[in-house]
Amino acid sequence: MFCALATLLQSVRPRPAHRFRDLVLGAALGVLAGGSLPQPACADSGSPDHDHSDASATDPGWGEAARSIRPVAVAAPNLRLGFAYDFSHVDDTSTLFVGPVSTTTLELDDVDGHAFSGHLVGTVPLVAFTGLRATVRGSRTEARRSLDALVPGSADLDAYGALVELFARDPGLGSLAFGAGFDRLEGESGVAANQLTGSADLQIFFPDLGSGSLDWFTRFEFRHREVEGDGQPFDVDADVYQVNGGARWFASPDVAVVFTGTWQRVEEEFFSEDDRTGSLGLHWRLPLAIGPATVEIFAAGSAGTSEYKESPLRGDQRLVYGGRAGVTLRLFSGRTLIESMRHYD
């Protein structure tokens, strides 16, 4: 009672306007954060020399509350370095064309694909709630289809390029991103392609209501390839439309289970493919840190169907399945996986 009275008497003394503002803001933030404000000792409360304006410098909770009242898209500039291995399988194709005079049959063997990829991502904050994400990437693939689309089958493919994304994010609500990229693809026998990419990404963040936090996400990507090579009388273009959608459930702050559905359509000069697949993945941030770096490992499996169409042949439905595994190294990122993904990535 005496402490409360002393505090009240001290508060009516003339003091600078910014000090009174800090006291009111601090009290409001403390209530919103559900925490308790620092309680001064009774002797300090009665002392005219006691300065409450320094509380934010000594109590880290005040800084966290201030950030929660004014969210930023990127908590701090950071880097991500990732490596992945992908395996894919496409069942054999058997289709035919029944003409007025003859019947044409197309038989393609089943194909296994293997890919090794790596990427480096840098993310920086911009003004207010916006950020910029830049990615450089490269891969080595034993592709299931060659670049010129004239000889379906297995072919080696090297790719390297960059992607830049501008995004707006509120770590408590979600994010919206738009990106553009360029890649150079180089295949066998002098065949190569320039690929332009445009993307849009939307994520919605839900808090933990007792069973873990949940993120809903969807991403659209359009890729246009212009294929060139020795011995070709003309360029062969290809357009790829891809839509991903799903949910990321955080079983714990460092473990995420990801459910994803994917639709992809490839349109080339002489054939097209429609893939519909679903995947289940697991991401785990290891309980170790190497200086400013943290390590995440991930694995996923997928399965679905693919319809191959080559005019004037009938379309053929094939089984497709695959797997993916890799590791991500984060520098100057969050203390947990969910914090890294929502506040830094």
Q: Which CATH number does 78-343 carry? A: 2.40.160.40
The domain segmentation of the chain, as residue ranges, is 2-69, 78-343
pLDDT value at residue 231:
53
Tens digit of each residue's pLDDT, the chain (345 residues): 444 434 433 443 444 443 433 433 344 334 333 443 344 343 343 433 434 333 333 333 333 443 445 578 999 999 999 999 999 998 888 777 666 666 777 777 788 889 999 999 999 999 889 999 999 999 999 877 666 555 556 678 899 999 999 999 999 999 999 999 999 998 877 778 899 999 999 999 998 888 899 999 999 999 998 887 665 555 678 899 999 999 999 999 999 999 999 999 998 877 888 999 999 999 999 998 888 999 999 999 999 999 888 877 878 889 999 999 999 999 999 999 999 999 999
Residues near 308 by Cβ (< 8 Å), separated by ≥ 6?
93, 95, 108, 271, 273, 315, 316, 318
The pair of structure tokens assigned to 129 is: 């709630």
Residue 204's nearest CA partner among 214, 219, 190 is 214
pLDDT value at residue 317:
86
How far, in Å, CA of 96 to CA of 130, rounded?
53
Find the radius of gyration of the CA atoms of the chain. Answer: 28
Start-to-end C-alpha separation, the chain:
49
pLDDT value at residue 191:
79
pLDDT value at residue 106:
76
The pair of structure tokens assigned to 198 is: 């445009």
How far, in Å, CA of 320 to CA of 87, rounded?
11
Residue 86's nearest CA partner among 326, 334, 327, 345 is 326
Question: In terms of pTM, does the model score above 0.85?
Answer: no
The pair of structure tokens assigned to 321 is: 């399945």
How far, in Å, CA of 204 to CA of 217, rounded?
6
